Structure formats: C-alpha cells, structure tokens
Amino acid sequence: MGEGFMGDYIDKFITYLRDVKHSSLNTLSSYKRDLKQLQDYLDAEGLKDPKSVNTTMLNSYILRLEREGKSSATVSRSVASIRSFFIYLLGTGIIDSNPTEGIKPPKVEKKSPETLSIEEVSLLLEQPNGISDKEIRDKAMLELLYATGMRVTELISLKVSDVNLSMGFVSCTDNGRERVIPIENAAKNALTNYMLNVRPGMCKDSVYLFTNCKGEQMTRQGFWKIIKLYANRAKIDKDITPHMIRHSFAMHMVNNGADLRALQEMLGHSDISTTQVYLKGKRSKLKEVYDKAHPRVGV
C-alpha cells in the first residue's frame, strides 16, 4: 500500500493482524479496503501523517460515507476498522492520543436472517435418496447440518472421534471452545448408515468424518456445490447456502419453543444478543396467529 506515512503504518497494521492476531483472510481484506479508503480521503485533505488526524476529521469522513449512501452495516464496519487501526498506533507509540474515542458508528438494525420453511428443509433433505456412496454421504452431511446448526467450517472439520452415536451427540470446536450438540433420529440414522456402510471405503485413513470421493478432507466449496445440486433438484427458488440452513435450524427451534440460552450454546454464540435476532421471526409468527384468531381484530 505504502505512499506516505499513513500507507506505511497501514501496511504494518495489516502485517500485525496477520502474524500476531492471526486474523482471517476475509478480515485482512476488509481492513485493507476500509483503511485504503480512509487514506485516500485524508490524502485529498493533505493529511499523510496519522499524528495530524483528529476526531473532527474522522467524523467528517464518516458523514461522507453516509452521504454517499453506504449502508449502516458498511459504515459500522469502517468505523471498527479505523478504531482498531488507531488503537494499534496508540499502543505502538506512533500517536499520543486516540482520535477515535469521540466517534460513534451508526446503529445497525439486526434483520431477521433469511431462512427456509420447515417444508422447504424437508424437501431439500429428501433429495439425496439414492444408494450410491456419494448420496449416502451427502444425506448424512445435510441431515447433520440441519440437526445441529453448525457452521460449514465446523461441519467439514469434524473428526470421527467427535461423534458419539450411542449417546446421540457430536462435539464441535470453534476458536478453541468445545460445545456438545445433540442430534435427532433422522440425522443419527443417516450418519449411522454413512459411517457403517460408506465411510470405511470412501475416507480410507482420514481422521475427518467427511471427505470427498478421493478420501481428502471436504472443502467449503465442495460442500457448497453439494447444497446447490440438491437445491436445484428440489426446485427451491432461493439462494440456499450452508449458513441459511444454520439460520433455519435456529429459527425453527425458537418457533417451536427452544430455550434461548440453550440455543445460544448449541450455536456457539458468545453473546446472547446474537441469538436474540431469531426472536423477531417468532414475534412475527405470533402476530400472524393473533391476527387470524382474535375475534376483535377486524372490528
């Protein structure tokens, strides 16, 4: 990136995120993009040294993003990137005070995530119904994904030792935190069929629960293609992703009376507010039931 003090410090910050914080490629890409846009703005204002940046300038930049029609989520992400960058500069002694202390991101309203109906999920799960090794494996993966609400990375990272069929649960690890998730009968049956009749030949010596047909660990892209295949076969007119199935699991659990704290634990959310977004769907459903059933609604 370079081009003056600001660019040099941004480069060092990105290197710090990569080598010390071990941030993901997506995170690094977002920070680079957000900070490059800030650098361009400050360059146009004749500011190339971070010591010259103050709160007023940053608030002006944020207002500019909003005037350009950037979404609240995009502006909030930019603010988070900028704040992290200046905290880094303060911690390394490049600046003496933090100009981001007086800035606030816009409020982002959490929308209810897009989900599949229970009927659509059932239709999707019915699609891999053949007797080939691939379809038996695919059936087990889809059933397990909906039974647990796991993230796709967690699903493809499962090892055989993470599964306890006799007790009916799987152990899932995310960022060093382990959680135990129960599995219902449909997933348990599909997984049993796969592990007994398919996995020994398909996965060879792999420690992973699921592999591709070559016996190599399944990739995110490989599983994404599996979902697209069966979504097309089911003729469901939605852009179905693994995360949509996770959202569907959570929404259906809430609508059927699941305890929010228990759901938080199953999903691996560190903050209950993240789980609470699924309550919006339940409130909407309750309102629909109320409007249909209450005798005074139409009066």
pLDDT at 49: 85
Q: For 195-216, what is each residue's pLDDT tens digit?
A: 999 999 999 889 999 999 999 9
Q: Which of 44-53, 227-236, 280-289 has the lowest mean pLDDT?
A: 280-289
Instruction: Classify domain 4-102 at the CATH superfamily level.
Output: Tyrosine recombinase, N-terminal domain (1.10.150.130)
Q: What are the domain boundaries of the chain? A: 4-102, 118-288
Residue 129 CB coordination number (10 Å): 11
Q: How confident is the model at residue 4 (pLDDT cuts 50, 70, 90)?
A: low
Average pLDDT over residues 67-76: 84
How much of the chain, in percent, has pLDDT values that exceed 90?
A: 56
Domain 118-288 bears CATH identifier 1.10.443.10: yes
Q: For 87-129, what is each residue's pLDDT tens digit?
A: 999 999 999 999 998 887 776 656 667 889 999 999 999 999 9
pLDDT at 6: 82
Q: What is the mean pLDDT of the chain?
A: 87
How much of the chain, in percent, has pLDDT values that exceed 70?
A: 89
- Cβ contact 285:261 at 8 Å: no
Q: Burial letters for 258-281: b for 16+ Cβ neighbours within 10 Å, e otherwise? A: bebeebbebbbbeeeeebebbeeb
Q: For 232-263, what is each residue's pLDDT tens digit?
A: 999 998 889 998 999 999 889 888 888 888 88
Q: For 281-291, what is each residue's pLDDT tens digit?
A: 555 555 555 46
**Distance between CA atoms of 35 and 7, rounded to whole angstroms?**
9
